[in-house]
Structure 1
Amino acid sequence: MTLDTKAFSDVVAATVKEYVQREALDRIDALEKRLAEVEASGLRFLGVWQRAVDYRRGSVVTSEGSSWVALKATSPAEKPGDCDAWALVAQRGRDGRVA
């Protein structure tokens, strides 16, 4: 029995292509579901950050004059600016002039 390397190579290439396409489609589906969840829940402004409160992803709080959004669920005492659970939305600046 002789090994037909061209046929073998074609089968391997087709199998790899199918696997990669299936993996890509699975990842796209997962990302679309995650995006739909984010869009459905939106951002929720919850006022001044409180140490004893659990926040969910999408929660927006103020802390020391800056605004922060939770990137994931946080546990109590995960203070904005002190951990990677929060992203800065607007940084506190110099007081503006009163018109």
Structure 2
Amino acid sequence: MAVTHIVLFKFKSAVPSDVISDLCAQVILLKDNCLNPSTNKPYIKSFVGGQDHSPEGLQDGMTHGFVAVFETLQDRDYYVSTDPVHLALGKKLGEVLEKVQVIDFTSSD
């Protein structure tokens, strides 16, 4: 059962574009940098994301989106509450984000 973790960001208007680009690159690198404490190997199955370019106009101010897929709920829970790499980046992001939305769902494949 895969767990899909979707995160949407709205950066503060004063944040320079190069800072946003660097932080977004760091988010994508979480796939390689977040390691299972038992195996010391990456545990995120996939991680993609980037800047919004939808023509629908339904973004509600969100500018960037990211999708991570975890093999288990336990992996997702470790990532969200304990993983030191994720938590450290979350602190950095917290300083420059105006708004964050997160939704997770479990699929059977």
Calculate the TM-score normalised by the size of structure 1. 0.24
Calculate the TM-score normalised by the size of structure 2. 0.23
Considering only CA atoms, is the larger Rg found in Structure 1 or Structure 2?
Answer: 1
Greater RCO, 1 or 2 (C-alpha within 8 Å, sep 6+)? 2
